[in-house]
Structure 1
Amino acid sequence: MTLSWRRLRPGRHSAKHSRHGEAGGDIELTIPSHFRCPISLDLMKDPVTLSTGITYDRQSIEKWIEAGNVTCPTTNQVLTTLEPIPNHTMRKMIQDWCVEKKSFGVERIPTPRIPVSSVEVAEILSRISSSAEKKDEAGCRELVQKVKALTKESERNKRCIVANGAASSLAAAFGAFSTAGSFHENVGVLEEILSALTLIFPLRSEANVYLGSTDSLHCMVRFLDGGDLSQRRNAVLVLKEALSADKQKTDALEEIEGALEALVKLIKEPICPTSTKASLVIIYHMLNSTSSSSRESVKGKFVQMGLVSMLSELVVDAERSICEKALGVLDAICGSKQGREETRDNALIMPVVVKKMLRVSDLATEFAVSILWKLCKKDEREDDEGGLVLEVLQVGAFQKLLLLLQVGCGERTKEKATELLKLLNLHRARLECIESMDFKELKRPF
């Protein structure tokens, strides 16, 4: 039995076929039914057979199994194993058929690479753990490179590697090789492990426990501080994962010499948007998650490094995600007196913060309102005699805050905006508000 597949125009070497068809017309080609996947009904590119003996295309049956099904779609029998077996005989028959129909424009299906199995992954990870225990730097490095190659080969391989606990094994190996005094001897394998970890995000909690150890944190800071561009990028990405899962580690990170400077350097001298965002996220956690005793100290250190000025310049033309994170960091810095004083002295802050309101995202608007609220609210210890309020009025904040209340916002942001409007309204008589051109292109949700 044969079924219609599609209509193809004859190739330039198939004159004998085209003479039997209509002038300039197409010739209908049919695919043998046993070459079709029972699920997609398309020609199988990578035929595999289940424990029930039915053959499917690998992509189709893997989607079926990943959806949580444990039965054969055709026979409805429960599968004794979820690992499909490559059907080399069927694949060879399909390839021969493709070659035979080459004159009809059918291309030969390439021989697919056999994906890695759970057994193979488990064996590789076991050998990585063994090499880490023996401190076999060369052997472990070679195995990690193999894991990277398999992960990059296909999404299916990546899922299999992740599902078998690769993150935990790699993180444990990283911790084993990052012990004090062994950084220079093991820098090669440590670099490979960091690179491999970036391919299998997000990391599981067990992996983050190993990465959050004192030795591991010191090692990543070493890469951040003195590594090449690739090493610094991988280190900050893995560090962000580790701290996001366990924010208490921010206290330990803050105590490591050179950690804060390395994070600020990634903002001052960006490598790529991804590393910039990761650095901002880590700094945000450090400003908000450290213990109260060290929180003010951390803010002061960042202010002294010139972070406020860097953020003001970064926000001007930043993409949405970076803009949100930069405003979040600036909002956290404004939680300290020293941070507010530094922010007030920066002539670019007010115009930029007001401009970003209602133009980037709801989150960016919330941060912008919070920054203005912290800077303008009445504080007996920080009385600027209304000079800052007049500056805020000059850049059009009053109109934007009114519009924000009209279009709607979160309850906490609404309270801050209302307080700001009351404060600004007291000084409106001293200065005529300037109409902002920001409203010209504003898209309203109503």
Structure 2
Amino acid sequence: MVLSWTKGRVFRRAPKGKKLAGGDLEVEILVPSHFRCPVSMDLMRDPVTLSTGVTYDRDSIEKWFESGNQTCPVTNLFLNSFEVIPNHAIRRMIQDWCVEHKNYGIERIPTPRIPVAPYQVSETFEKIIAATRAGDDNKCQELVGKIKTWGKESERNKRCIVENGAGAVLADAFGSFSSNSIEKNAAVLAEILGVLPWISPIGEEGKSKLGSEASLRCMVWFLNGTDLSAKQNAALLLKEMPVNALAKIEGVAEALAKMISDPIGLSPTKASLRTIFRLVSSSADKERIRQRFVELGLVPLLLEALVDADRGVCEKALGVLDCLCDSLEAKKLAKANALTMPVIVKKILRVSELASEFAVSLLWKLCEKNDEGVLLEAVQVGAFQKLLVLLQVGCGEGTKEKATELLKLLHGYKSKAECVDSSLDLKYLKKPY
């Protein structure tokens, strides 16, 4: 029995500009049914056989088991063992078939790597623990490199690594080597840092060890370094760390502000903004932290970043600005910046509900002292109309109260200024620095 490999799939797999043999666009390639997975009905890339003798694609049958099923999908027989055996004979037949039909744009499936087994991961972790206790940074780096390689091979390997306690083991190793000379152990620490961001959940034990002073100090050290990969991994990891412990680390504000002024990528920028938001909104020492960020020039940096930012950056940057503007100095800097009012008003109803909430709160803080210049500028860039629409569309109770109060303040200035379209192109605005 054979099934057809449809012409549409042939077209998708064929190289651009390559016509099918003989120019026949209606040809269909027949795929033997035993080359297809009984679950997904797709061509098997990694055929494995159950104890019932039925062969499936590894990814499909593993998802079947992960969904809680304990039977063979074809025979419906209850399985005493979920062990699967690679079917090398079928795989080689499929590969040969792909080669025979390569003129139709069908690519040969690669020989799959054998997934890592739990016992292999456990044994490697035991060796990492031993190397950590012995202070053998070279051996530990080699073993962590093996874990890293396994994780890159497949999502299945990543799950196996995480499920066997990777968080606690690697966090302990990171904390141990951080306690000594960071410069001396930089190589092994960077290797561990390359694995930790994709281990989720790390677990309470792992978080506790990563939240130590030595570990946090080490992450900030990498954040200040020149290794871009390590900087990114440190930024991704810091956003999950205990905020009160992080606030006590010397140089953390400077390092995070630099990540905004000299961005190395979207993900680390978002992670850094999230960390900053947690520091200025919920740390026990938030007043001091806010003041330090203001001194480092974060207010104009965030306003500049907001001009062309995506949704994630907008929400986080507006949230940070909203918190910073609880201080008089930050509000003074924001009012003096030519980008502030146009950017804030533009973001209302343009990004997300959360961004609108932060923007309205920020606008309310800047206008609350009845500063005539600020109120007049807000009217000129269309704040009054935006707030009216926001109330009509609907928003949270707190935002609704602030918007209503702002409308009362702005109403008296409508006749004093000619309102302009709030959707003006911000790239033509003169930058304040």
TM-score bracket, normalised by the shorter chain, equals 0.7 to 0.9
Instruction: Spell out, residue by residue over 1:16-66, the C-alpha distance to the aligned partner (whole angstroms, 9 max, x if none).
Output: xxxxxxx998587462x5544332344433221223333222122112112
Deviation at 1:166, TM superposition (A): 1.9
- Is 1:256 the counterpart of 2:249? The answer is yes
Which amino acid in the other structure matches residue 337 of structure 2?
N
How much does 1:335 deviate? Answer: 1.6
Cα contact 2:381–2:422 (8 A) shared by 1: no
2:294 corresponds in structure 1 to: 303
Alignment match, 1:277: 270
Structure 1 residues 185-241: Cα deviation after superposition (integer angstroms, max 9, x where no partner): 211110001111233355444322221111100111111123422221111111112
> 1:121 maps to what in 2?
121
CA RMSD of aligned residues (A): 2.8
CA contact (8 A) 1:151 1:199 kept: no
- The one-character-per-residue Cα deviations of 1:71-126 (angstroms, maximum 9, x if unpaired) are 22123333333332212344345556666788998765442211112222222222
CA distance change for structure 1 residues 261 and 64 in 2, over 3 Å: closer, same or farther? same
Q: Hey, what does 1:144 align to over in structure 2?
A: 144
TM-score by length of 2: 0.86
Cross-structure match for 1:434: 419
Number of residues of Structure 1 aligned to a counterpart in Structure 2: 411
Residue 404 (str. 1) matches residue 397 (str. 2): no
Q: Give 1:290's aligned residue.
A: 283
- Asked if 1 retains the 8 angstrom alpha-carbon contact of 2:345 and 2:422, the reply is no
1-side partners of 2:344 and 2:87: how far apart? 62
Instruction: Tell me what 2:15 maps to.
Output: none
Q: Any residues of structure 2 matched to 1:171-320 within 5 Å, and which? A: 171-179=171-179, 181-201=180-200, 203-242=202-241, 249-291=242-284, 294-320=285-311
Instruction: Please state whether the residue corresponding to 1:344 is helix, strand or coil.
Output: helix
Pairwise CA distance, 1:178: 0.9
CA distance in 2, matches of 1:268, 1:4: 57
Q: CA offset at residue 168 of structure 1? A: 2.6
Equivalent residue number for residue 79 of structure 2: 79
Q: Can you give the 5+ residue segments of structure 1 that lack an aligned partner in the other structure?
A: 10-22, 243-248, 441-446
Distance between the aligned counterparts of 2:399 and 2:84, measured in 1?
A: 54
C-alpha distance in 2 between matches for 1:105 and 1:402: 57
- State the SS of the aligned residue for 1:178: helix
Q: Is 1:391–2:377 an aligned residue pair?
A: yes
Separation in structure 2 between the aligned mates of residue 281 and residue 207 of structure 1, nearest angstrom? 21
CA distance in 2, matches of 1:219, 1:137: 15
| Matches for 1:312-391 after TM superposition, within 5 Å | 312-378=303-369, 384=371, 386-391=372-377
2:165 maps to a residue whose letter is G
1:305-350 Cα deviation digits (max 9, x unpaired): 1111111111112122111111110001012223222222323211
Gap regions ≥5 residues in structure 2: 11-23, 426-433
Identity among equivalent positions (%) equals 55
Cα displacement (A) at 1:130: 2.1
Residues 1:103 and 1:320: Cα distance change in structure 2 (over 3 Å)? closer
Distance (Å, rounded) in 2 between the aligned partners of 1:371 and 1:27: 61
1:269 Cα deviation after fit: 0.9
Bigger mean CA offset, 42-51 vs 402-411: 42-51
